[in-house]
């Protein structure tokens, strides 16, 4: 089976990614294991300037673009921050479209990193349509997370690091939004640790990617209903769904209630501030503990951008 995501590119991507995003902490959480009933390795991707894993793919993509190019993208917030950080590092201009309901902290940080941010549309996918239309009208380069192979290949470096763990993983529980994280990691894992099951985790209120993968055809929803804005997809990227074939073993859905419970556990036991999309791996274990009991499970804490209000509401 041929793949868009190139193993050699994943292996070499680290040389083009700012070291601040690389070699992130990965460790077992023994106090959480006592609650969850499994052995759990967490890889923390929030200890960097943008508080998410997106810096890897954005840095790798931008490194391949001509200096002076103006880029346009859409984001729920984390990809936009990553692109802004990467573009600033190379002296490039970036315009980000985000929903009028986007996380205000993420909007502030995108602007702080030098991006021009335009708010349009009721959700991420509506903002993405507006961004694509504007880029086409202006003759600018539109960058779509998960459609650009580099975004997945950059994320694949997380798997290369995680598999340095001395024991083989039974399963990896990885957040599934547009797919770059899951497919990039899965591409590497299925070659270097084929017995490890790659399980994507999406929100019950945003099941379009899960349904598209299971049905083999693109399933579109009119709206989403989840607190997990970072994985709130209603218009799947066709190529990213195709990338899941052969790299993903299963996809599970988790409720907002399970996500909040997972966020609180991660805060209490690991001292981490984790946004909803970053906690879905632990939420999956809470939702079906027998499936994971006594197994060695790995998960990526992939985002930690919460507003003060969200922290008071969910964590206090």
86: Cα within 13 Å, side-chain hemisphere = 33
Report the sign of the C-alpha dihedral through residues 294, 199, 44, 225, in that order.
negative
Please tell me the pTM assigned to this model: 0.96
Rounded distance, CA 222 to CA 94, Å?
Answer: 29
CB 140 within 8 A of CB 72: yes
pLDDT at 39 over 70: yes
Rounded distance, CA 8 to CA 10, Å?
Answer: 5
Q: What is the DSSP string of 33-100?
A: HHHHSSEEEEEE--SSTTSBTTHHHHHHHHHTSPTT-EEEEE-SSHHHHHHHHHHHHTT-EEEEEE-T
Main-chain phi, psi angles of 181, to 5 degrees: -65, -50
Q: What CATH number was assigned to the domain covering residues 20-52+155-314? A: 3.40.50.1100
Q: For position 1, what pLDDT does the model report?
A: 61
Q: CA separation (Å) from 42 to 240, 289, 302?
A: 25, 17, 10
Q: What CATH number was assigned to the domain covering residues 55-143? A: 3.40.50.1100
Do the domains at 20-52+155-314 and 55-143 have one common CATH topology?
yes
3-state secondary structure of 299: strand
Q: What is the 3-state secondary structure (H, E, C) of 177-220?
A: CCCHHHHHHHHHHHHHCCCCEEEEEEECCCCHHHHHHHHCCCCC
CB 232 within 8 A of CB 124: yes
Mean pLDDT confidence for 217-228: 96
Mean pLDDT confidence for 190-206: 98
What would the pLDDT profile of 261-298 be if each residue is shown by its tens digit? 999 999 999 999 999 999 999 999 999 999 999 999 99
What would the pLDDT profile of 180-189 be if each residue is shown by its tens digit? 999 999 999 9
Q: In what order do the strands lie in the sheet with 116-119?
A: 116-119, 93-98, 70-74, 141-143
- Sequence ranges of the domains in the chain: 20-52+155-314, 55-143
What would the pLDDT profile of 67-93 be if each residue is shown by its tens digit? 999 999 999 999 999 999 999 999 999
3-state secondary structure of 143: strand
H-helix or E-strand containing 152?
helix 149-162
Main-chain phi, psi angles of 247, to 5 degrees: -115, -15
Q: For position 84, what pLDDT does the model report?
A: 98
The count of other CB atoms within 10 Å of the CB of residue 251 is 21
| Arithmetic mean of pLDDT over the chain | 97
pLDDT at 175 over 80: yes
Q: For position 35, what pLDDT does the model report?
A: 96
pLDDT at 2 over 80: no
Q: For position 302, what pLDDT does the model report?
A: 98
Mean pLDDT confidence for 21-38: 96
Q: For position 57, what pLDDT does the model report?
A: 98
What token pair was written down for 95? 């315009």
CB 49 within 8 A of CB 139: no
pLDDT at 29 over 80: yes
CB 121 within 8 A of CB 99: yes
Nearest Cα to Cα of residue 41 among 160, 154, 167, 180: 167
CB 70 within 8 A of CB 93: yes
Mean pLDDT confidence for 212-218: 97
């Amino acid at each position: 089976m041929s793949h868009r995501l190139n193993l050699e590119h994943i292996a070499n991507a680290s040389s083009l990614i700012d070291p601040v995003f690389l070699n992130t902490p990965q460790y077992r959480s023994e106090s959480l294991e006592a609650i969850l009933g499994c052995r759990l390795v967490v890889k923390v991707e929030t200890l960097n300037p943008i508080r998410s894993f997106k810096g890897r793919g954005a840095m790798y993509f931008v490194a391949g673009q001509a200096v002076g190019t103006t880029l346009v993208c859409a984001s729920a917030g984390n990809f936009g921050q990553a692109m802004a950080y990467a573009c600033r590092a190379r002296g490039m201009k970036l315009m980000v479209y985000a929903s009028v309901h986007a996380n205000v902290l993420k909007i502030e940080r995108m602007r702080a990193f030098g991006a021009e941010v335009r708010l349009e549309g009721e959700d991420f996918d509506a903002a993405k349509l507006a961004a694509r239309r504007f880029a086409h009208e202006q003759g600018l380069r539109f960058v779509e997370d998960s459609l650009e192979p580099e975004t997945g290949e950059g994320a694949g470096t997380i798997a290369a690091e995680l598999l340095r763990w001395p024991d083989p993983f039974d399963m990896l529980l990885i957040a599934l939004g547009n797919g770059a994280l899951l497919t990039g990691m899965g591409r590497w894992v299925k070659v270097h640790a084929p017995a490890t099951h790659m399980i994507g985790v999406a929100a019950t209120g945003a099941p379009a990617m899960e349904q598209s993968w299971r049905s083999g055809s693109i399933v579109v929803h009119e709206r989403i209903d989840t607190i997990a804005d970072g994985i709130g997809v209603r218009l799947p990227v066709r190529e990213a769904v195709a990338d899941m074939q052969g790299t993903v073993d299963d996809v599970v859905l988790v409720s907002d209630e399970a996500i909040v419970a997972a966020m609180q556990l991660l805060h209490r036991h690991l001292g981490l501030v984790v946004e909803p999309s970053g906690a879905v791996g632990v939420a999956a274990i809470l939702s079906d503990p027998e499936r994971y009991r006594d197994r060695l499970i790995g998960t990526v804490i992939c985002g930690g951008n919460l507003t003060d209000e969200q922290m008071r509401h969910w964590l206090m």
